[in-house]
């Protein structure tokens, strides 16, 4: 296989934006190469196999002809590094790979093919380079990609003749005459492929043609004679070297079994989790058939028992005093949940599985007592899911000492997946069999197999907890897990069970209103151009905007000129045509309609919306929500505020209360930078942005106008989010020079901020991570990347993570403090939501004053900052009315 050729084809066949790890490493070339590799090994079943790579563009050809390949564009940054990783992939498969200084992969392949054919082998060459056609013979076939990375055409001698009208041996003669723009080999002016083929057919060979060049008539013949030296050089360069000195002979290329553990680990690290690709790669492992089933790793033999009625209590008496791993099969939807199967596992073998519907009263009491005992250690994966659903069975859970999903998140927050099977492969080198989903056994699966699978998961959770415990110590996050994340998980489970009451009639009215606005925008768009078209079709929009209306061209993409929101806003500013404005309104109304439709669909039978919170999505530590995503509800628009009126106080309660921090990110930035000017601006009691603007622009506070304040507000928040001068210029619609001057003036006044921002990036580049006040780390390996785009993105993250992460930590600490104080005070009022740093509570009758006192006290005192935390509180019958 020609490694470079196929990797490059894969790179351009698969969009990099769809194949990138959470850390920013593109994997499209790796994925495409691996897919082609798996398919080829499956279809051809070779006994011997090798991959050849180029070392660099400095080869014997570039020495003989310095312009060789000189026209090729610079290798894309996103491609760099992927070839090296493909090499690592091949190493896990124990595949031989070659790269020889001074030679191209073609020369290595030519050498191997020549040696193999002489040794009696049938030879297959997989390459996207047509120069290899000269190697084709009765025993050498070229598999040439003709459709992306998925379709290979077999070039035999007959196929070469059919395609070019020449024999494989004549192909380099033909190529020399034709020239090759991709290699920067000049052709003969006025001489195309047909003429080149005719000459070679007529004279039999390039050498004979050169010898008898005077016999070629007309302008073409004169052009040949005029360029004879150039085409003779072409012929020299197109001939592949067949005697490259290689460290291994053909006999050494026999395929051998994979290092399957290393292969799985490689795929997991690069977040390549497509089951089909994984299965195809493993299926062609030469050791897969002959390989004996691996002996169980020391210490993971399971003495599993499927428990019947009356057997759980005695099992817990024997094993329940030691830490147990817990795995469940549970379902949760629209505020209602159920757990159908539970598995428990010890560290030394004994494990148990039971069906919750078969528990007798004694079992249920014993299990409930074990769960509620804080002295009985329990290790879970995604403990919140258990804490949310177990109360449906009347079970309360205490004594959770480890949540392996949360622990893995704190160890490596940039991961895309925290699934148990992936973590088991990475940390335990152990592959898990899938258990049932939503309590349903797969068709044909016996109960014992299902029980074994779930008990293996429980054991993996326990072992993973031990492995991650050591990693948590290494990164200094043990306290963060036990003091913040685990208690937050328990609190979020209660929030999800409680939900928030929804006014269905109000939301349905909003949905109809937005639907009407969408239809009105469609009608106006059609009227504006005089005919109907599909507003949701990018192709039709391009035809209307840039074909019919001839509006200014926007940014070019693979599918044409873009019509995204930024492009529409630019067109609206550049032209007087009404269509861009109509399109922006159409998309906004359609988005709002979709948001409201989603809210209505998630109203449960109890009339409440039960969102699902996640602690392990945002690398900064912020919480997110799904089903529905409450962060999608706009805060600053009239329509968004109207939607928020649909979240109302529930029956038995008298009002909703909202509480959030004022300018928490900027207060954190002031604290971390220790800039006295910014701290003084906060403690002055005056409007922050006006105070800062007066100092930056050198005018009195009364002279600060709205535009000055807007610029400074954008600047201050932009710095907290790692905004560049270019980003600021885009946000303020000013040129980059003015934005840079504004930043320089800002830093002249607030030098502590400048010094902090420089320091945090330098420290992160040295250590590899940033850290919040509470010790939450974010690892940023791309800070030292050779790829400028990835390096600058990592620098923005380094600026952003300590500020955003500290703000997220403060909100969690505040939530825990408020919840604990409400319980200790014996109040019925409860917390319902946490969205955009805002906490929403439901107030019981007569408790407003005490709850407000608790909320202000706990939130303001969550941490001590040099720029003290400021809390805003509001009360009302619905979410919007309670805004402050």
CATH of the domain at 858: 3.30.70.370
Residue that finishes a domain, picked among 806, 829, 857 = 806
* Rounded distance between C-alpha atoms, residue 811 and residue 506, angstroms: 31
pLDDT digits (tens, 9 = 90+) for 855-864: 999 999 999 9
Domain that holds residue 527: 501-609
pLDDT digits (tens, 9 = 90+) for 298-351: 446 778 899 999 999 999 999 999 999 999 998 888 888 889 999 999 998 899
Whether 233 maps to a domain, the answer reads: no
Whether 645 maps to a domain, the answer reads: no
Average pLDDT over residues 577-595: 92
- CATH code of 355's domain: 3.30.420.10
Q: Which residues of 117-139 are buried (b: 16+ CB within 10 A; e: fewer)?
A: beeebebbbbbbbbbbbbbbbee
- CATH code of 576's domain: 1.20.1060.10
How high is the pLDDT of residue 590? 92
User: Is 516 found in the same domain as 387?
Assistant: no
- CATH code of 696's domain: 1.10.150.20
Whether 621 maps to a domain, the answer reads: no
User: Is 841 found in the same domain as 720?
Assistant: no
User: Is 737 found in the same domain as 703?
Assistant: yes
Whether 95 maps to a domain, the answer reads: yes
How high is the pLDDT of residue 149? 55
Average pLDDT over residues 387-413: 94
Pick from 390-394, 445-449, 739-743 the range whose average pLDDT is largest.
390-394
* Rounded distance between C-alpha atoms, residue 505 and residue 854, angstroms: 34
What's the structural domain count of the chain?
Answer: 5
Instruction: State how beta strands 336-345 and 324-333 pair.
Output: antiparallel
Whether 218 maps to a domain, the answer reads: no
* Rounded distance between C-alpha atoms, residue 374 and residue 568, angstroms: 58
User: Is 462 found in the same domain as 441?
Assistant: yes
Going by pLDDT thresholds of 50, 70 and 90, the confidence category of residue 12 is confident
CA–CA distances in Å: residue 285 to residues 46, 93, 175, 289 = 11, 8, 38, 8
Whether 190 maps to a domain, the answer reads: no
Copy the structure tokens of residue 50.
């090798």
pLDDT digits (tens, 9 = 90+) for 33-72: 998 898 899 889 999 999 999 887 677 777 767 776 655 5
pLDDT digits (tens, 9 = 90+) for 470-508: 999 988 999 999 999 999 999 999 999 999 999 999 999
User: Is 815 found in the same domain as 798?
Assistant: no
* Rounded distance between C-alpha atoms, residue 665 and residue 172, angstroms: 66
* More confident site: 145 or 198: 145
Whether 262 maps to a domain, the answer reads: no
Return phi, psi of residue 790, to 5°: -70, -40
User: Is 580 found in the same domain as 505?
Assistant: yes
Q: Calculate ∠ Cα 429-433-437, nearest 5°.
A: 130
User: Is 703 found in the same domain as 604?
Assistant: no
User: Is 468 found in the same domain as 457?
Assistant: yes
For residue 11, give the nearest of 80, 68, 58, 67 by alpha carbon: 80
Whether 435 maps to a domain, the answer reads: yes
User: Is 480 found in the same domain as 345?
Assistant: yes
User: Is 696 found in the same domain as 574?
Assistant: no
User: Is 765 found in the same domain as 858?
Assistant: no
User: Is 801 found in the same domain as 694?
Assistant: yes
pLDDT digits (tens, 9 = 90+) for 729-758: 877 878 888 888 888 888 888 888 889 988
Average pLDDT over residues 552-568: 82
pLDDT digits (tens, 9 = 90+) for 266-298: 888 887 877 778 888 888 888 764 444 344 454
Give the H/E segment covering residue 511: helix 504-529
């Amino acid at each position: 296989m020609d490694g470079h050729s196929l990797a490059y084809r894969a790179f351009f066949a698969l969009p990099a934006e769809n194949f990138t790890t959470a850390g920013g490493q593109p994997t499209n070339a790796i994925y495409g190469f691996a897919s082609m590799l798996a398919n080829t090994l499956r279809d051809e079943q070779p006994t011997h196999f090798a991959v050849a790579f180029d070392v660099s563009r400095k080869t014997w050809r570039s020495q003989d002809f310095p312009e060789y390949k000189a026209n090729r564009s610079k290798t894309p940054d996103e491609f760099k590094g992927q070839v090296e990783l493909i090499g690592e992939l091949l190493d896990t498969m124990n595949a031989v790979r070659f790269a020889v200084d001074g030679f191209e992969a073609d020369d290595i392949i030519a050498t191997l093919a020549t040696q193999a054919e002489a040794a009696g082998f049938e030879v297959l060459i997989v390459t996207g380079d047509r120069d290899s056609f000269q190697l084709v013979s009765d025993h050498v076939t070229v598999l040439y990609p003709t459709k992306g990375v998925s379709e290979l055409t077999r070039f035999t001698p007959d196929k070469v003749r059919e395609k070019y009208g020449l024999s494989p041996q004549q192909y380099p003669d033909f190529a020399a005459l034709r020239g090759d723009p991709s290699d920067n080999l000049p052709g003969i002016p006025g001489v195309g492929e047909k003429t080149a083929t005719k000459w070679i057919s007529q004279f039999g060979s390039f050498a004979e043609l050169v010898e008898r060049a005077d016999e070629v008539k007309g302008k073409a013949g004169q052009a040949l004679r005029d360029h004879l030296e150039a085409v003779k050089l072409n012929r020299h360069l197109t001939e592949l070297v067949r005697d490259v000195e290689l460290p291994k002979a053909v006999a050494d290329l026999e395929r051998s079994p994979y290092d399957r553990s290393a292969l799985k680990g490689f795929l997991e690290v690069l977040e390549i989790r497509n089951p089909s690709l994984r299965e195809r790669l493993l299926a062609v492992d030469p050791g897969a058939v002959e390989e004996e089933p691996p002996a169980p790793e020391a210490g993971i033999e399971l003495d599993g028992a499927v428990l019947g009625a009356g057997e759980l209590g005695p099992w817990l008496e024997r094993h329940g005093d030691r830490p147990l791993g817990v795995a469940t099969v549970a379902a949760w939807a629209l505020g209602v949940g159920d757990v159908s199967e539970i598995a428990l596992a010890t560290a030394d073998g004994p494990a148990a599985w039971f069906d919750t519907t078969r528990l007798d009263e004694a079992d249920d009491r014993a299990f409930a007592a074990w769960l509620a005992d804080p002295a009985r250690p329990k290790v879970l994966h995604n403990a919140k899911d258990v804490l949310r659903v177990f109360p449906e069975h009347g079970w309360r859970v205490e004594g959770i000492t480890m949540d392996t999903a949360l622990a893995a998140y704190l160890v490596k927050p940039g991961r895309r997946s925290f699934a148990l099977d992936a973590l088991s492969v990475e940390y335990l080198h152990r592959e898990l069999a899938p258990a049932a989903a939503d309590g349903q056994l797969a068709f044909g699966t016996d109960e014992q197999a299902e029980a074994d699978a779930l008990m293996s998961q429980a054991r993996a959770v326990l072992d993973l907890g031990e492995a991650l415990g050591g990693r948590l110590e290494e990164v200094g996050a043990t306290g963060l897990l036990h003091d913040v994340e685990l208690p937050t998980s328990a609190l979020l489970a209660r929030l999800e069970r409680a939900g928030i009451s929804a006014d269905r009639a109000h939301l349905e009215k909003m949905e109809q209103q937005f639907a009407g606005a969408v239809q009105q925008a469609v009608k106006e768009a059609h009227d504006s151009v005089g005919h109907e078209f599909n507003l949701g079709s990018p192709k039709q929009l391009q035809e209307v905007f840039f074909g019919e209306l001839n509006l200014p061209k926007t940014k070019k993409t693979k599918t044409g000129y873009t019509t995204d929101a930024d492009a529409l806003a630019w067109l609206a500013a550049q032209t007087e045509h009404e269509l861009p404005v109509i399109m922006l309104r159409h998309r906004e109304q359609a988005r709002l309609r979709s948001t409201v439709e989603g809210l209505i669909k998630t109203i449960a039978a109890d009339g409440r919306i039960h969102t699902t919170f996640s602690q392990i999505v945002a690398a900064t530590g912020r919480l997110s929500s799904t089903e529905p995503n409450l962060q999608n509800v706009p805060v600053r628009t009239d329509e968004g505020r109207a939607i928020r009126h649909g979240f109302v106080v529930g029956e038995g309660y008298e009002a909703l209360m909202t509480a959030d921090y004022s300018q928490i990110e900027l207060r954190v930035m002031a604290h971390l930078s220790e800039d006295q000017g910014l701290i003084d601006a906060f403690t002055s009691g005056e409007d922050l942005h006006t105070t800062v603007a007066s100092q930056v622009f050198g005018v009195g506070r009364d002279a600060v106008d709205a535009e000055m304040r807007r610029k400074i507000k954008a600047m201050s928040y932009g710095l907290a989010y790692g905004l560049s001068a270019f980003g600021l210029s885009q946000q303020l619609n000013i040129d980059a020079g003015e934005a840079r001057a504004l930043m320089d003036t800002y830093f002249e006044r607030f030098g502590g901020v400048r010094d902090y921002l420089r320091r945090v990036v330098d420290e992160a580049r040295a250590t590899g991570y940033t850290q919040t006040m509470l010790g939450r780390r974010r690892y940023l390996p791309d800070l030292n990347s050779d790829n400028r785009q990835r390096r600058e993105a990592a620098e923005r993250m380094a600026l952003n993570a300590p500020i955003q992460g500290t703000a997220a930590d403060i909100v969690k600490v505040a939530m825990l403090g408020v919840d604990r104080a409400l319980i200790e005070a014996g109040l019925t009022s409860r917390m319902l939501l946490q969205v955009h740093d805002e906490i929403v509570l439901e107030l019981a009758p007569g408790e407003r004053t005490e709850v407000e006192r608790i909320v202000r006290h706990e939130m303001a005192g969550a941490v001590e900052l040099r720029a003290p935390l400021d809390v805003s509180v509001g009360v009302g019958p619905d979410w919007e009315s309670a805004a402050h």
